[in-house]
Amino acid sequence: MAAVEEERFNRVKYAAGFPAQAIRYCLKEAGLELKDIDHVAVPRNPYARLATKLFYAMRMPSFTRERAKVLVKFTGIPEALAQAFDTNPATLGAKFHRVEHHQAHLASAFFVSPFERAALLSADGLGDFASTMWGSGSGSRMKIDGAIAFPHSLGLFYSAVTQYLGFLKFGDEYKVMGLAAYGEAEQLEAFRDIVRANGDGFRLELEYFTHHRTGPEMSWAEADKTPTLGRMFSEAMERRLGPKRNPEDPLEQRHRNLASSLQLRLEEIYLGMLKKLAQRTGLKAVCLAGGVAFNCVANGKIFDKTGFEQVYVHPAAGDAGLAVGAAYYVWYQKLGKPRAFVMDHAYWGPGYTREEIRRAIDANGLGQNGCQIEELAEHALMQRTAAIIANGEILGWFQGRAEWGPRALGNRSIVADPRRPEMKEVLNQRIKHREIFRPFAPSILAESTGEWFEKSYPSPFMTLAYSVRPEKRDKIPAPTHVDGTGRLQTVTRDANPRYWSLIKAFEQLTGVPVVLNTSFNDNEPIVCRPEEALDCFQRTQMDALVLGDFLITRS
C-alpha cells in the first residue's frame, strides 16, 4: 500500500537513523495505527554468518566495535518504534521478525515480480557479512543455493575503484558507470587479476584492497548524516594501475579507460554468474536486487549473454528495498500466504490533493513574483505542456504519488526535449550541475520501444540500458549516451496514465514518442511535497512547472 524512504521527509540524501516519518506515513496511507500491526520485519539478522564474523572480529577490533554499535541500534527496534510513536514498548502487540540482508533483497525482487518461478540473485557491497546470494523462487517460497561472504564483494570492488578514480561520495559508482562509455577497456587484464571467477561466484585478490583488514569503514558521525566510506584500495592497486586520481585532478583518457575496464570486468563476473544460474536452474526468468542490480548497463546485456529471457529488478534494488523485501519474506515464506501482488509501478509514496497543491502555490506568492498560474483540464494541460517541451523549455513535472526507489519515473521528474543535442548541457548549466559525462535518461511509450531500441523487453524502473537503433540516434541525441545506449524507462498507460498521455501528446506534436526524464531535484533528495517542487522551481532556471492540474510559467 505504501513505501517511502526517510530521506524524502528529512531531506538528507541516504539518511540513516530510525525511519520514524516514513513509518508514520505508511501507516497513515494504510489507515492503520501502530497497535493494529501484527508483524514487524527487520531486514538484518545479527546471527547470520556468525562464524565468519567472529573470525574477522578477532583480526579487526575497531571494525567489530563499529559493528557492535550498529547491532545495538538494530536490537533496540521495538524500543525505537515505541519511542517514535510515544508509547510504551510493552503495549506493542506485534511480533518482530529478523530477515537476513540478502534474503530480504531476494524477497524484494521475487515476491513482487510477475513470475511464478524464477532464479534469484542479489549482489551488493556488504550486508549481514555477505555480498552475494542466489537461489530460486517458486510461488510463496524461495530457496537459497549459495552465497559469497565478506570480504569478497562485487559492490566493494566497484566502490574501491570508484574511489581510486577520485569519486569519493557514497553512490558515486553511477558516475563511473557513465564515464566507462568514454573509454577503452585497455586494463581489462589487470582487473581480471583483481577479481577472479571462482566456482559459481568470484574472489577478490585481496592484496589490492584494504577493507578485509580495516573493515569497510562507513562513518555515520551522527545518525542523520550522509554516509562516507574509508579508503578501500591498497598501494598495490596504485602499483598495478598507476597513481590514483584526486577529486580535483583533471579527468584523463587513462581514467576513462580504467572506468571502462572496471565496468567490463564487473559485467564478465556478474553476467557469468547469471549464466551459470540460468544453466543450473533451467529457468528463463530472473529477479535481481542489491546495489549491483542498479548497474543498468550490465543488466541490458542479460538477454544476450546469460540465457535468461525475462528480468525483474526491484525499483528500490538498494538497501531501501530491504524493508519491502523483509515484509514480503515474512508474509510469504514465514506465514505461507498465497502470492497476490505484482509491483508493476513504483508510485507508492506520498501524494497530495488539489487543495494541498493550491495552498502550497498560494503560500508561495508566485503570482506576485511575475509567474502565471493556470488550472487546466487534462487535454489542454497535455497540449500546453507538450508544446513547452517541444519548444526547448525545461519543465518540472509533479503528479500523483512519489516514486519508490532512487529513480524519478514521471511523477517527480524534470522533463525536456530529447531531440536537442544541446539539452544535456542546458540542463547541467541551469539545473542539475552534474558532471558532463553523465547521461540523461529517456522515457518512451512502452509500445514504441522496439522501434527505437534494439531490445523491447519492458524496463519500467529504468534499470536496463539498451542500444538506441542506429537510425534513431540523431533523433534523440540528448538522452542517448556516447556509446549509443539509453537507460530507458518504458511507460505504459496502465502504470502511469498521465505521464503516458504527456509523452503521447509530445509524439503527436513531434513524431517522437520519447522525452528526456531526470529527477526533480538539485543536489538534494528528489522533491516530495509540492512546497519542495515550488522551491526547486524558484531556485533553478526551470521554465515551467506542472503541479497536478496547475501550470505555472514565468512571464
User: Pick from 6, 124, 172, 393: which binds Fe ion (CB under 5 A)?
Assistant: 124
Question: What whole-number distance in Å separates Cα of residue 141 and Cα of residue 136?
Answer: 9
DSSP-assigned states of every residue in 484-548: SEEEEEEE-TTT-HHHHHHHHHHHHHHS--EEEEEES-SSSSPP-SHHHHHHHHHHTT-SEEEET
**Residue range at the interface with Fe ion (CB under 5 A); choices 120-128, 264-272, 359-367, 542-550:** 120-128
Reading the block at residue 223, the C-alpha cell is 545518525
The answer to whether 100 contacts Fe ion (rule: CB under 5 A) is: no
Q: Where are the alpha helices (DSSP H) in 368-496?
A: 378-390, 423-427, 449-452
C-beta of 316: minimal distance to Fe ion in Å?
A: 11
Give the span between the Cα atoms of 271 and 174, in whole angstroms. Answer: 18
- Cβ nearer to Fe ion, comparing 156 with 271: 156
Question: Interface mask (CB under 5 A) for Fe ion, residues 272-311, using x and -?
Answer: ----------------------------------------
* Contact criterion met (CB below 8 Å) for 170 and 225: no
C-beta closer to Fe ion: residue 317 or 360: 317
CA atoms of 444 and 488, how far apart (whole Å) = 7
Residue whose C-beta lies closest to Fe ion: 124
The residue among 129 and 466 lying less far from Fe ion, judged by its C-beta, is 129
> Residue 223 Cβ, how far from Fe ion at the closest point, in Å?
19
Grid cell listed for 330? 515474512
Of 327 and 388, the one with the shorter C-beta distance to Fe ion is 327
Cβ atoms of 363 and 141 within 8 Å: the answer is no
Measure the CA–CA gap between 526 and 520, rounded to whole angstroms: 6
Binding mask 317-356 for Fe ion (x = CB under 5 A): --x-------------------------------------
Pick 160 or 181: Cβ nearer Fe ion? 160
CA separation (Å) from 298 to 262, 284, 302, 487? 12, 18, 7, 11
Return the residue matching grid coordinates 550541475: 433
- Total binding residues toward Fe ion, as defined by CB under 5 A: 3
Binding segment for Fe ion among 182-190, 312-320, 351-359, 437-445 (CB under 5 A)?
312-320
Q: Which stretches of 139-199 are assigned E, i.e. beta strand?
A: 141-149, 195-198
Question: Which residue, 124 or 172, is less far from Fe ion as judged by CB?
Answer: 124
Shortest separation between residue 442's beta carbon and Fe ion, angstroms? 28
Q: In this complex, which beta carbon is closest to Fe ion, that of residue 100 or of residue 124?
A: 124
Q: Which of 19, 127, 201, 525 binds Fe ion (CB under 5 A)?
A: 127
Q: How far is the CB of 131 from Fe ion (least distance, A)?
A: 9
Q: Which stretch binds Fe ion (CB under 5 A): 125-133, 377-385, 461-469, 471-479?
A: 125-133
Nearest residue to 295 (alpha-carbon basis) of 267, 320, 325: 267
Number of H helices, E strands in the chain: 21, 20
Residues contributing to the site for Fe ion (CB under 5 A): 124, 127, 319
